[in-house]
Amino acid sequence: MKNRRLPIVLLLVTIMFASSCKTKPGDVASLYNKKADSIIKLMTLDEKIGQVSLFTSDMSLTGPTMRNDYIDLIRQGKVGAVFNAYTVDFVRNLQKIAVEETRLHIPLIFGYDVIHGHRTIFPINLGQAASWDTAMIEKSERIAAIEATAEGLNWVFAPMVDIARDPRWGRVMEGAGEDTFLGSLISAARVRGFQGSSLSDNNTVLACVKHFAAYGAPQGGRDYHVVDMSERSLYEWYLPPYQAAVDAGVGSVMTSFNEIAGVPATSNRWLLTDLLRDDWKFDGFIVTDYSSLNELIPHGVASDLSQASELAMNAGVDMDMQGSAFLTQLTDLVKSGKVSEETLDNAVRRILVAKYKLGLFDDPYKYCDKKREAEEIMTPEHRSFAREFVAKSCVLLKNNNTLPVPKSARTIAVIGPLADSKMDMLGFWFGAGQFDKAVTLVEGIKNKVGSTVNLLTAKGCNVNDNDLSGINQAVSTAKKADFIILALGENFMMSGEAASRTDISLPGVQMELAEAIIRTGKPVAVVLFNGRPLAIPKLDKMAPAILETWFGGTEAGNGIADVLFGDVNPSGKITMTFPLNVGQIPIFYNSKNTGRPINRENPYEKFKSNYLDSPNTPLYPFGYGLSYTTFSYSDIKLNKQSFGGTEQIIASVEVKNTGDRDGEEIVQLYIRDLIGDVTRPVKELKGFMKVLIRKGETASISFTIYPKDLSYYHQDMSYSYDPGDFELFIGTNSTDNKKTEFSIID
C-alpha cells in the first residue's frame, strides 16, 4: 500500500505536553529527547534491550505477585515496564528495585487493562457508546484514570477503537460499534479522559490506542483471524478512529494480532512507520499485544524468534509485551547488524521520553500515595456517576405500553439466570473490579422499592445448558406476580477476547423459559444482559417489552432499576446493528446499493440482491432506540438547495415531544452521495445531537456541514468531494428519518 495521509475528519483537541505555560510544547519535547539521549549514551546494550521489554505480574488470592525471575530481571535493569501490577505497596516495591538497585536507576512504567473502569466499573464500552454522550464517556475515563493512578498505575491499554461489523466477534463489547464517525469522536474523548491536560499530573495516565489496525474485521468474526480488505475500505472505515486518537495526543499504540493483506500488523513497516509515524506524525511508542511478536512464527512470516524480532523492530515496534523475544534475541541481532543500534536507540528514546512526560524521573513514586489509594477509589461520587451512566446506556428495544413498571404492581417477580448474578454484572475486562461490590438486578430493584412491593425471585434456568427443570417453578412464581421482569442474555465470559460465537441467539434454554413465562399472560419486561448484538427475532415477537442493558458494571442493578421504574427515561440508541439471524452477517447500516438493489415493495423479488428465506432488513437498525415518550419530526429545511465548495450547508428540523414525559432524543443526520467516482454507501452518519425536550415542547435542531465533509477516496485514492446531487436524512435512527435533497456545484 502506498504512503498516504488520512484526512482530518474531525476537529479534535490536541493534547500538549508542557511543564509550564511559558514553555512551548516543541521545546519541551526537544528537552525530553535531549535528556533521553543523555541516558542512552550511558547505557549498555543489555540495558537498552531491557527498556524495550515488558513483563507481567501475576494474581493470587491475596493480590498481585511477581515471578522471581522477573524480579531478577528488574534488578539487572532488563525490564522497562510491568503490567498487571497494581496497589500502592506492590508497585512501590517493584519501583524501588528499579530505581534503587539498578545501575542507572531508570523507573518502570506500570500498565493495566483499564477498559471500562478500574475499581468502579462502568458499562461495557459498546453500552457506553449507546449513550452517544462523548462527555460522559470522557468523564468515565477521567474517573478510571484517577482510580488507576491511586493504585500505582500510569499506563492503560485503552482505548480500543476497532470498528466492528460482525457481532459474532466477541470483542465488539470493547468498542464503539460499526460507525467510523461516531467511533472517531469516542476515540478522541477516551484519550482526553485518560490523559487529561497534562501527563505530568499524578492522576493522569498514558493511554494506548488499540488494536492497530483493523482488528475488528476478522474473517468469520473469529478472534485473531485474517483481515483482508481493500485499501479504500481500510482508509475510509477502519483507520480514522486510530488517527483520531493520535490527533488527540495518545501516548502509545498497540499492534493488533491480525494480518492485513498478508502482512501481520506486528511486522508491518508500512503500517507502523510509513503511516503511523511518517504520515500521522505519531511520536509516542509502539507496544505489541500479548506475545504477538512470537506469533509471527505461526503466521508464517518468520522461521524463528530471531527473525520475528528482527522483523518487528525494523517495522517500528518499540516494546515487546511478554514475548521475551527482544530480551533474548536483540543482542545478537544488533551485533550482527540485522537491527541497527540506531533503531534500538530510537525505540529506547521514545520509552524514556514517555517516562519523562509522566514525571517518573522527577519522582518515581508519584503514583504510590497511600492516602490517595484510601480516599479516591470507589467514592460515592464515582459510584453515583456509574449509576447514571448505566441508565444512559440502556436501550429500550420494544415497549407495548408495558414499561415503566406500573405503580399498581404490588407483587413483582424477577426471574431468569441473570437476575441475581453478581459474577455477570461487571462484564468482560472488568479489570480490578470486585464482583462482591456489584449491584445485581434483584438488589437494585430492592433498593428501589424497599418494603412497598412484594418481590419474588426464581432462576428458571442456567445461562447456557439444557436443564429445563427449573422452568415450572419459575412459572409458578410468575403466576403469583402482578408484573414480571425477565433477566436473560449471555454470561460475562461469552463476550470479550477469545469469545467468538457462531450462534448469537439466546443461549441454552432461555428462550424456552421466556416462552413459558410470557404465556402466563402477565405483563412481562425482558431485561437483556449481553456483550454484543443478539439475534432474537422470536423474543422480539413475543415479549411485550425489551430493555437492552448490556453489562452495566458496579452499579448495574441500581441504574437498570432507575429505568425500569421510570425515574430515568431511556434515551440510548444502539451503535451496532442487531441482525434477524446469523446468515445476514455482516450487516451494517452504511452498506452499498449494488447494481441490483432490493425492491422495497417486493423484498423477495427474484434476481435482486436479497435472500430467498430472509429479508435484508435487520431486527433493529443502527441508531435505534425507543423512549417512554414519543417524538415527531418536521420536514427538513435547508438554507438553500445548491452550494458552492466553501459554503455552509445548514439543515434544520423541528422535533416535538408528543408524549407525556420529558425525554432526551438523539437526533441523527445522514448523507448519501448519489453519484460518485466509486460507489458510495446508502447512508453515512455525519452528525448527531442529543437534546432534552420537555413534554409538549418543540426543539429546533440545526446541523452545519460543508462540502468538504462529504469527501471520500476516489479511484486514484485522492481524497475530495464531488459536485453533484446528494440526499440528506434527519431522524430518530438510520432507517426512520425525513429526507431532502441538495446539490453541490463547483
- Cβ-proximal residues to 195 (8 Å cutoff; 6+ apart), any chain: 15, 145, 204, 205, 206, 207, 249, 250, 251
Beta bridge partners of 276: none
DSSP per-residue letters across 209-222: EEEETTTT--GGG-
CA distance linking residue 537 with residue 533, whole number of Å: 12
CA distance linking residue 378 with residue 372, whole number of Å: 11
CA distance linking residue 478 with residue 460, whole number of Å: 10
Of all residues in the chain, what percent are helix, strand and coil, respectively (each to 5)? 35, 20, 50
Q: What is the dihedral of CA 80, 82, 86, 90, to 10 degrees?
A: -70
Q: Give yes or no: 424 in active site.
A: no
- Cβ-proximal residues to 662 (8 Å cutoff; 6+ apart), any chain: 569, 629, 692, 693, 694, 695
Q: 35 in helix, strand or coil?
A: helix
CA distance linking residue 500 with residue 504, whole number of Å: 9
Kind and range of the H or E run holding 633: strand 631-633
CA distance linking residue 170 with residue 183, whole number of Å: 18
Kind and range of the H or E run holding 474: helix 471-479
Q: What is the dihedral of CA 719, 722, 726, 729, to 10 degrees?
A: 20
CA distance linking residue 54 with residue 287, whole number of Å: 9
Grid coordinates of 58: 501475576
Give the pairing of strands 263-264 and 259-260. Answer: antiparallel
Q: Which of the following is catalytic: 289, 320, 369, 562?
A: 289
Whether 731 and 682 have beta carbons less than 8 Å apart is answered as no
Annotated catalytic residues are 289
